[in-house]
Amino acid sequence: MTASQPADTRFDVIAIGNAIVDVVAPCDDALIEKLGMARGGMSLIDTDQARDLYAAMGPGREMSGGSAANTLAGCAELGLKSAFIGQVADDQLGEVFAHDIRAAGTSFTTPARAGDPPTARCLIFVTPDGERTMNTFLGASQFLPAKALDEDAIRASSVLYLEGYLWDPEEPRAAMLQAIDVAREAGRKVAFTASDTFVIDRHGDDFRALLDDGKIDILFCNEAELAALTGEDDFDTGLAKLAPQVPVLVATRSEKGAVAIADGVRAEVDAQPVAKVVDTTGAGDLFAAGFLAGHIEGRSLDQSLTMGAIAAAEIISHYGARAEADLRALVKAKLG
């Protein structure tokens, strides 16, 4: 499964996703119930809801986030050259996002958008068991135009990574479809993360069409998303149904580990041990980072999955979706 690296490759991974600033705060289960939130889920909220929920939060931490941006931060930690395309507003949180992602080692050159709506933010309530309940105001991120694509950077990237969450609004969906065409014409790989079952409920037909048309090379999903995509509640039945449609299928199962199938070859790993689960925010994002790093380095399916599991375990051991330990050192200690 060696990933080719043509001489003109400038980035290992370029991603398109929601440019979001995360606000993460601990809470108890009673607050989740009082606020009527879907525990453990992700809900889209409007400006008024964002204001009310923010007022109800305890002391929190602000950091740049968004699913694909989290993955790129992990990729950069693992030594990959990465770039991000996403829309922020010309405001304070937009500056926070841009500073954080660049400081993490990722190229970000998308111009800020003037005026309303403001930069997107995700209000994340974390209960004592580490479960995160996310409430996302998409703001400016919904207005990423196709003209904002850096097509030269896409052509010069080994892998184009797309975030399913951004498929909902029309403008960035059109931009991502254009980016897929640019990447495929350049002979690059396209990776896609399904993101959430609610996204599949709304756009599953689009995702299935992309698979049917052979436009996805690597698909990331979790157990629930696999069931939503295939209509099969049994995990192995769902794998058997979906695997023939994509060259590399990666399915995560939280504490039960993860499975990958590439060209009919199946690999499976256990989850890495964690002393205490503090916050599951970004676990899937960092798993994707670890797997992509292994894949691009030409590692085996088993090793790529293990790298994903190592990155996911590090991220759930603390608050926030950015690594606090040296991911490369953790991988080296485990795999050499």
Alpha helix stretches (DSSP H) within 108-221 = 151-155, 170-185, 197-212
> Percent of the chain at pLDDT above 70?
98
In a domain, 129, yes or no: no
Q: What is the mean pLDDT of residues 257-283?
A: 92
5 has a pLDDT exceeding 70: no
- The pLDDT value recorded for residue 282 is 86
Query: Of 3-7, 190-194, 274-278, where does mean pLDDT reach its minimum?
Result: 3-7
As a whole number of angstroms, the distance between CA 172 and CA 193 comes to 15
In a domain, 223, yes or no: yes
In a domain, 177, yes or no: yes
Q: What is the mean pLDDT of residues 146-169?
A: 95
Whose CA is closest to 82, among 91, 92, 72?
Answer: 72
Q: What is the mean pLDDT of residues 233-251?
A: 97
Q: What is the mean pLDDT of residues 199-208?
A: 95
In a domain, 135, yes or no: no
In a domain, 134, yes or no: no
In a domain, 127, yes or no: no
Q: Are 123 and 133 in contact (CB under 8 A)?
A: no
- The pLDDT value recorded for residue 188 is 97
Provide the domain count of the chain: 1
65 has a pLDDT exceeding 90: no
Q: Are 187 and 220 in contact (CB under 8 A)?
A: no
- The pLDDT value recorded for residue 177 is 97
265's CB contacts (< 8 A; 6+ apart) are 301
In a domain, 6, yes or no: no
As a whole number of angstroms, the distance between CA 247 and CA 259 comes to 14
> Percent of the chain at pLDDT above 90?
79
Q: Are 263 and 2 in contact (CB under 8 A)?
A: no
At residue 132, what are phi and psi to the nearest 5 degrees? Answer: -110, 135
In a domain, 149, yes or no: yes
Q: Which domain holds residue 76?
A: 11-17+66-107+144-335
pLDDT tens sequence across 110-137: 999 999 899 999 999 999 998 989 898 9
Tokens 């670890």 belong to 290
Q: Are 310 and 327 in contact (CB under 8 A)?
A: yes
Q: Which residue has the higher pLDDT, 172 or 41?
A: 172
Averaged pLDDT of the chain: 93
2 has a pLDDT exceeding 50: no
CATH of the domain at 316: 3.40.1190.20
